Structure 1
Amino acid sequence: MRIALIEPDLPHAKLVGRLIFAGGHVCYHFTASAAFLQRAADDFFDLLITESWAGDHSAEDVIPRARTVLPGLPVIVLMSAPRESQIVAALHAGADDCLSKPVRGPEMLARVDAVLRRAGLRRPLNRRRDVIGGYAFDTAALAVTFRNLTVTLTPKEFRFALLLFNNLSRPVSRAHILETVWSRRRDLKSRTVDTHASRVRSKLQLRPELGYCLTPLYGYGYQLDAIPLETAVEAAVKVG
C-alpha cells in the first residue's frame, strides 16, 4: 500500500518509515501538509498518517482538506502524550484512529492493517490514479496506460500489477500476493499466481529491452525491476 506520512520530527519519521517498509508498504514522507496536498492532487495514497501538528496546520484542518483531494482517504493521527480532549477532537475531525508517539512497531502495523481493512469497504474508486515508472493505473477503468498504449486488465491482474509496481525493485512474497490479490486464499494453486504473472508480463510488456524485468523468485514470489536505459538499449540490440 502507498502510505503518506506527514511528520515534521525527522528522527521519528525515519522510525515510522522503517516500520511501514517492514510491513510491506511504501512510505512517502512529507514535513508539512502543503507538500502532501500538492502531491495528492496528482497522485494516490491508500492511507495518511499525520502528526497532530502537520508542520503548517493541525491534523483537524488537514483531514478535511485531504479528503477533498482524495475522497474517503483513511487517516491515522500521531500524538505525543495525548490528552483525552485531543483524541476526541481528532476523531470528531474524521480521524480513523490515533496513535501515541513514539510508536510501537507491532501495534502501529496492526492498527494500519485494521484501518486499511475498514477503509477497503468504503473507498470510492473514481479518484484512484497511480502513475509509477511511466505506467498510469486507472482503478475505475481497470486500465493501465504506458508508452501511448492503454491496456485493460482483469481485476486480479490489475491488483497484481499495481502491487508489483508499488514494490518496484523489492521482492514480493507469494503470501503478500495472495493476501492482496486473492484476499488471503492461501489454498490457491501455485500455477494460478504464475499464470497471472505471465499475463501481466505480456499485457504490460515487462521486458528488459523495454525497461522492465519481472522475475520469479524460486520458493518466494516475484520481483519487478526497472532496467537502466543503457542496459535496456543493449538488450534491444541483442533482440534485434
Structure 2
Amino acid sequence: MRIAIADDDGESLVCLENIIAGMGHISVRFNTGDRLTAALSRETFDLVMLDWNIAGRNGLQIVQWMKQTLDNPPPVIVLTGRTTKRDITEALNGGADDYITKPEEDNVIAARIAAVLRRTSASASMEKTAAFGGYRLDRMAQSIRHAGHDITLTAKEFELADLLFRHRDRTLSRAYIMETIWRTSADLATRTLDMHISRVRSKLALKPENGFRIFTVFGYGYRLETIEDASDMSPSQ
C-alpha cells in the first residue's frame, strides 16, 4: 500500500515512516497541506494520514477538498493533539475515516492503519480466484483464463493485470503502479512499466469487444476501463 503522511513535525513524520515501513507499506511524506494537495492532484494513494494543524491548509480543509475535488478520494486518518469529543465529532463528520490523538503507541497506530485499510481497500479481502467479465484470475497459480484458454503471464504481468482489474475504472498514477508492483520509483523504470502494460494489453486482448480496455492518461498513468455492452460493439470502437 502507498500511504501519504503529512505533518510539519519532523519527528512525527519519522515515527510514522517507521511504523508504515514495519507494516510492509510505502510512505510518502509532506510537511505542508499545500504540498499534500498538489500531490493528491497528480498521484495515487491508498491512505492519507495528516495532522489537523499542519501548515498551510489544515487537516479538515484538506479532507473537505479531497471529497469535493478527487474522483476517488483515499481514506483519511486525522492525527492531532486535540482530544475533545467535539473535535473528534467534527473530524469524523467532516469526512475523516478515523481519528488518532497524539501521543499514541506505535502498535496502536499500526492497528488503526490496518483497520482502515481493511475497511476501504479494494485488495483487503481478495479471494483465491476472481472473475471480471470474461476473465477469471487464479491468484494462487498466478494465471488468467479467458474465452476457454489459459493465458501465460510472467509473475509481474499477472500482478499488474490483477492490480488493474481490482482498481478497474480508477486512474492509477505511474508512481503508484511502480511502487506497488516493483517497489521502486516511477522515474527509475518508466520503460519497464510501459513494456508490461503493452504485454498485458496484448496477451489479455484488452479491447472493447472483450469488455475492457487500458486507457493511457498521458503525463499521469493508466486506467483499466469497463466497456458496457461490449457484445454490441464492433472491434473498431
Q: TM-score range by the shorter chain?
A: 0.5 to 0.7
Q: Indicate the percent of aligned positions where both proteins have the same amino acid.
A: 23
The answer to whether residue 202 in structure 2 is matched with residue 126 in structure 1 is no
For 1:130 and 1:66, locate their aligned partners in 2 and report how far apart those are by CA, in whole Å: 20
For 2:23 and 2:59, locate their aligned partners in 1 and report how far apart those are by CA, in whole Å: 24
Shift of 1:125: 4.4
For 1:149 and 1:73, locate their aligned partners in 2 and report how far apart those are by CA, in whole Å: 24
Shift of 1:69: 2.8
Q: Match for 2:194: what amino acid?
A: F
The equivalent residue for 2:23 is 23
Q: Match for 1:30: what amino acid?
A: F
The equivalent residue for 2:40 is 40
Q: Are the counterparts in 1 of residues 63 and 76 from structure 2 also a CA contact under 8 Å?
A: yes
Q: Are the counterparts in 2 of residues 40 and 70 from structure 1 also a CA contact under 8 Å?
A: no
Shift of 1:97: 0.3
Q: Match for 2:101: what amino acid?
A: S
Q: Match for 1:117: what amino acid?
A: R
For 1:72 and 1:120, locate their aligned partners in 2 and report how far apart those are by CA, in whole Å: 12
For 1:84 and 1:125, locate their aligned partners in 2 and report how far apart those are by CA, in whole Å: 38
The answer to whether residue 111 in structure 2 is matched with residue 114 in structure 1 is no
- Number of residue pairs matched? 148
Aligned-CA RMSD value: 2.8
Partner SS, residue 5 of structure 2: strand
Q: How does 1:1-240 map to 2 (within 5 A)?
A: 1-67=1-67, 68-69=69-70, 71-120=72-121, 125-131=169-175, 132=178, 133-134=186-187, 145-146=193-194, 150-152=198-200
Q: Match for 2:94: what amino acid?
A: A
For 2:4 and 2:198, locate their aligned partners in 1 and report how far apart those are by CA, in whole Å: 28
When normalised by structure 2's length, the TM-score is 0.55
Question: Runs (4+) of structure 1 moved beyond 3 Å?
Answer: 121-125
Partner SS, residue 12 of structure 1: helix
Q: Are the counterparts in 1 of residues 30 and 36 from structure 2 also a CA contact under 8 Å?
A: yes
When normalised by structure 1's length, the TM-score is 0.55
The gaps in structure 1 that reach 5 residues or longer are 137-143, 156-240
